[in-house]
Structure 1
Amino acid sequence: MLAEERRHKILDIIQKEGRVVAKDLADMFDISIDSIRRDLSIMEEQGLLQKTYGGAILHNPTPKVRTLPQPESMRYGLAATHQNAISKLAASYINVHDTVFIGGAGIQFGMLKHLPSHFPYTIITNSMKIAEELRKRENITSYLIGGKLRCDSAGSMIDTLAIEMIRKFTLDISFITGGGIDSQGISTATPEGAAFTRAVSEISRKNICLAPHEKVGHRMFVMSAPMEAIDLMITDQGASETAIHEIKRKHVQVIFADEKETERVNNEMA
């Protein structure tokens, strides 16, 4: 098969499925992964797709720098497989007697079903939704940060009162995220949200960024925390290869959650 014909077939697959995996393509066409990567690089230069660490995805439109908050039914609904894999891996970093911060984003909410249940630790949150889920768990001591209630915030406090209160604590780990994550740092749509996340990152001994691929390589309205403040970033194989290389240049450790393993476990439990 000629290379051009192979690329047309790759394009057909990615248009139908939204993404391709380099190893699967190599097996399908019986060629080396390096040859597939060269194909994907050429197709990326032609503007046909975006290379990722595991293969490629269709070009996603660049999001607006400010977007409305998702309704709770979407934010806290069924997570995509890659998001669930990131949440699960993040929860595994919690150790006995740790004090950790978990905010009210959907991917942070997704951590709750994976939280350790066999040893004691403390969780601080600014989200009423998270606090309600935690308050009956016997092994977890939980604290809810107070502040102004907002109708569009899914019950998360991010005002000056919340910032003043969070600064009274010291954290072992903070799990933080944002609408945009690139080599400059984590960004979000509102100055208040950015200021609160920045305060959290400044009082934490270890900052772990939860970075689903749809957020990676994008920048939102205002910067929350510089990439230099991040110790570890957890993402998935759909993340932009170029964006990940730029983030690694900031000496940030980047690890990839295993989506297939998470999906296999979920299927076994179903």
Structure 2
Amino acid sequence: MLAEERRKKILEMIQREGRVIAKDLSDLFQMSIDSIRRDLTIMEEQGLLQKTYGGAILVSPKPKVRSLPQPEAKRYGEGAPHQNAISRIAASYIQSDDTVYIGGAGIQFGMLKYLPTDIPFTVITNSIKIAESIRRKENITAYLIGGKLRKAESAGSMIDILAIEMIRKFTLDISFLTGGGLTSTGISTATPEGAAFARTVAQSSRKNICLAPHEKVGHQMFVTSVPMDSIDLVITDSAAPAAVMKEMENKQIEIIYADEIETNRSVRNEMD
């Protein structure tokens, strides 16, 4: 098969399925993964796709640097498989007697169904939604950060000066952080107030874990909230842009691809 014909088939697969996996393409075309990656690199240079850690996805338009939060029904829905994988891996880092911060973003809300039920720990949150969801769990001690109530179309979290002053009074074992964008320079978000609150949370925490589904990676929002040198671990998925992940690796950032762990776990279970 000629290279152009192969690349045409790859593009058709991406347009049909939304993404392709390099290993699957290697098996399909009976070629080395390195050869497939060269194809993907050429196609990326032609603007046909975006290379990811594990393969490639369609090129998506960059989001506006400032945008309103998604409607609550969508933000707090079931979550896509890759988002759930990130949330599950994140929750597994909570140990007995830890004090952790969980905010009100969808990927953080997704952690709730995976929180440990057999160990005691403490949750600090500035989200009314999170607080209401965990306040009856017997093994969790919960504190709600106070502040001015925001409009219904907001994310429903307190982020004003009162919230910032209150979070400063705590010391946290782990903070689970996220934002509208993540690049090799750090996490960014749509509002200065949200950025200031997230930065204060990070400064109050001994370990900062960034939850970064691929659709957030590579995008720079209005204002940087948490610089990369304050992040201890990034949990993402294999559809994250390869170039951005390479930049993070060059900075010695620890990265976990949650969907790969989930896949490997499923394979092991099938073999047992």
- Smaller-chain TM-score bracket: over 0.9
Once the two structures are superposed, what CA deviation does each residue of 1:168-204 show, in whole Å capped at 9, x if it has no partner? Answer: 0000000000001001110000001000000000010
Partner of 2:118: 118
1:172, 1:251 → 2: CA distance? 22
1:69, 1:127 → 2: CA distance? 14
Runs (5+) with no aligned partner, structure 1 = 266-270
Instruction: Report if aligned partners of 1:81, 1:259 keep a CA contact under 8 Å in 2.
Output: no
Runs (5+) with no aligned partner, structure 2 = 267-272
Partner of 1:242: 243
Partner of 1:268: none
Q: Secondary structure at 2:214's aligned position in 1?
A: coil
The 10-residue stretch of structure 1 (152-161 or 226-235) with the greater mean CA deviation from structure 2: 152-161
1:162, 1:259 → 2: CA distance? 37
1:79, 1:21 → 2: CA distance? 21
1:211, 1:19 → 2: CA distance? 18
Q: 1:154 offset after TM fit, Å?
A: 3.2
Q: 1:77 offset after TM fit, Å?
A: 0.9
Partner of 2:78: 78
Which residues of 2 match residues 185-196 of structure 1 at below 5 A? 185-196=186-197
**TM score, norm. by length of structure 1:** 0.95
Which residues of 2 match residues 156-175 of structure 1 at below 5 A? 156-175=157-176
Q: Secondary structure at 1:187's aligned position in 2?
A: strand
Q: 1:41 offset after TM fit, Å?
A: 0.8
- Structure 1 residues 101 and 214, CA gap change in structure 2 (3 angstroms): same
Letter in 2 for 1:50: Q
Q: Secondary structure at 1:148's aligned position in 2?
A: coil
Letter in 2 for 1:219: Q
Partner of 2:66: 66
- Structure 1 residues 75 and 259, CA gap change in structure 2 (3 angstroms): farther
Which residues of 2 match residues 1-270 of structure 1 at below 5 A? 1-151=1-151, 152-258=153-259, 261=262
2:262, 2:170 → 1: CA distance? 36
Q: 1:59 offset after TM fit, Å?
A: 0.5
CA RMSD of aligned residues (A): 1.6
Instruction: Report if aligned partners of 1:207, 1:232 keep a CA contact under 8 Å in 2.
Output: yes
1:98, 1:39 → 2: CA distance? 47
**TM score, norm. by length of structure 2:** 0.95
